[in-house]
Structure 1
Amino acid sequence: MTSSRTFSSPLSSASPVAGLPLLCLQNVGKTYFTSAGPFVALENINLEVAAGEFVCIIGHSGCGKSTLINMVAGFSTPTSGSIALKGQPITSPGPDRMMVFQHYSLLPWLTAFENIYLVVDQVYPNKSRREKREIVQEHLELVGLAEAAHKRPKQLSGGMKQRVAIARALAVRPQVLLLDEPFGALDAITKEDLQDELLAIWRDHRCTVLMITHDIDEALYLSDRVVMMTNGPAAHIGEILTIPFERPRIRSRIMEMPEFYELRNRALDFLYRRFAHRED
């Protein structure tokens, strides 16, 4: 493990990985026009994410984290600025960006296999049925659910459902995997198990990951950089922490490192002193 103590500089958006960014957000803003007048959710978001990078976004409720990731997914569009993937503007959803939500979003009348097959069938219409089934089976095995392939969501635990959701997203080989608090509804033990599984999958496939979380420890353990958002309205990137821990990571070792607690205290200071959440 490296012992570097140069963690970040405020408002830095430069990627630590050499080369052109895969994902580029330039001066992104989002305003909602309501009956009470315009509401500025986000403003001046500038962020570059390199291919293969794992980036976590943290901030208080209402800071626009989900709004931001939904714009990257193409579910909504910026009011100002631009978001581009490999230099091409993002204007709609697409299989090059797959989302995993906190609440699984599985179709309850379909089995685990069928939930994944449905997406594979839509993205790869020219592949044979056999090829599609092989893709589904491969990704069920990837998340350790081969034996649960023919179970419906009501027969699966929360952790198993989220494994299906992750397998479904990865089955179409997205360039960017978008995770919106995917482990937020899970118990602590299951959450840690899935964090480790996610890291193993990411290490093997090296897709780019953009993840929202409220859990500081989770962000520090998983990511290459942690993007910390200021409070809304008109939220923006307040600071970015570059995480110095080498990979592969071993949780028990990282939790014993002074650098981990320095980073943790820095994030806590940002969230609970400099940008403490205040209810109106």
Structure 2
Amino acid sequence: MFNHTNTFSHTSQQLVDIATKRQQHEPFLTIENVSKIYPTRNGSYTVLKEVNLTVQAGEFICLIGHSGCGKSTLLNMVSGFNTPTQGKVLLRSKRITQPGPDRMVVFQNYALLPWLTVFDNVYLAVDCVYPTKPVAEKRAIVRDHLALVGLSEAIDKKPTQISGGMKQRVSIARALAIRPEVLILDEPFGALDAITKEELQEELLKIWNENRCTVLMITHDIDEALFLADKLVMMTNGPAATIGEIMKIHFPRPRDRAQIMEDPEYYRLRNHALDFLYNRFAHDVD
């Protein structure tokens, strides 16, 4: 006798399998035909024009380009602080229209509240996102993430009592403490000295390797991008900037800076990026 139940179950399982495979192959973050146009006294000013980018879950993406190419504008649309004039930005196929805790931003200027301690700056974010969690659990989350960035000994200090590098560690801990799906870094190490910068790059990679959230990071430093990223998105000059080229960076992870810098591929990629920025898209005032 024909078994309708087994046939139905088999068909249902096939549909589940198809849906699962489709979800696995769906892009995590999609920027589709995005343009940003501002009205001015002299007419429309196009900052970005027809930008398209697909980012997979867990990728580390760096954006580079001269000042005025719209890097921050683009990431502000991913964070939800800004919206496209044309096109759309999608996270897991849902349109981004406003900020949310699934996307956290680390700014170059730290954005810490000076009257709060290191601990309280991070706790404030955790408390806002998880208001119903027990206080003890929230405090444990804060302590764990400050330990992750090596700041357990500084939890009671105010931002004015710690160095620039330590402030940026607090910002990173605050962002990661709420477990965002996307971590957005707007030139986070640009104001730091070279030694501190390299230390925090190593720290960021270590944290990212443990958490594997998706990272979008603006940088002006080609060497930084080659050390950190899976892909380097190179922007053309503004106005009406767009993505000129996407460079894939295949160095194995976890990465060792000394080994990478001995690899001839490192210098081939570096020279290619330099040619893009300073020959193909040279900028007189940058």
TM-score for both structures, normalised by structure 2: 0.91
2:11 aligns with: none
Q: Is structure 2 residue 153 aligned with structure 1 residue 147?
A: yes
Task: Tell me the CA shift for residue 21 of structure 1.
Answer: 1.5
Q: Deviations over 1:49-97 (max 9, x none)?
A: 0000000000000000000011100001000000010010000000000
Task: Tell me the CA shift for residue 26 of structure 1.
Answer: 0.3
User: Which structure's CA Rg is the greater one?
Assistant: 2
Amino acid at match of 2:50: N
Q: Is structure 2 residue 124 aligned with structure 1 residue 118?
A: yes
Aligned residues: 263
3-state SS of 1:94 partner: coil
1:70 aligns with: 76
Given the alignment, which residue of 243, 248, 270 partners 1:242?
A: 248
Q: Is structure 2 residue 232 aligned with structure 1 residue 226?
A: yes
1:205 aligns with: 211
CA distance in 2: counterparts of 1:116 and 1:34, whole angstroms: 39
Higher share of residues assigned helix: 2
Q: Is structure 2 residue 67 aligned with structure 1 residue 61?
A: yes
Task: Tell me the CA shift for residue 36 of structure 1.
Answer: 2.3
1:28 aligns with: 34
Q: Is structure 2 residue 176 aligned with structure 1 residue 170?
A: yes
3-state SS of 2:33 partner: strand
Task: Tell me the CA shift for residue 211 of structure 1.
Answer: 0.2
Q: Is structure 2 residue 278 aligned with structure 1 residue 272?
A: yes
Q: Is structure 2 residue 258 aligned with structure 1 residue 252?
A: yes
CA distance in 1: counterparts of 2:216 and 2:192, whole angstroms: 20
Structure scoring higher RCO (CA < 8 A, sep ≥ 6) equals: 1
Task: Tell me the CA shift for residue 35 of structure 1.
Answer: 2.0
Amino acid at match of 1:67: T
Task: Tell me the CA shift for residue 279 of structure 1.
Answer: 4.0
CA distance in 2: counterparts of 1:275 and 1:203, whole angstroms: 33
Task: Tell me the CA shift for residue 160 of structure 1.
Answer: 0.2
Q: Deviations over 1:145-196 (max 9, x none)?
A: 0110010000010000000000000000000000000000000000000000
CA distance in 1: counterparts of 2:27 and 2:254, whole angstroms: 23
TM-score for both structures, normalised by structure 1: 0.93
3-state SS of 2:25 partner: coil
CA RMSD of aligned residues (A): 1.0
Structure 2 spans left out of the alignment, 5+ residues: 1-23
Q: Spell out structure 1 runs of 4+ moving beyond 3 A.
A: none
Amino acid at match of 1:68: L
3-state SS of 1:159 partner: helix
Paired-residue identity, %: 67
Q: Deviations over 1:207-230 (max 9, x none)?
A: 000000000000011000000000
Structure 1 spans left out of the alignment, 5+ residues: 1-17
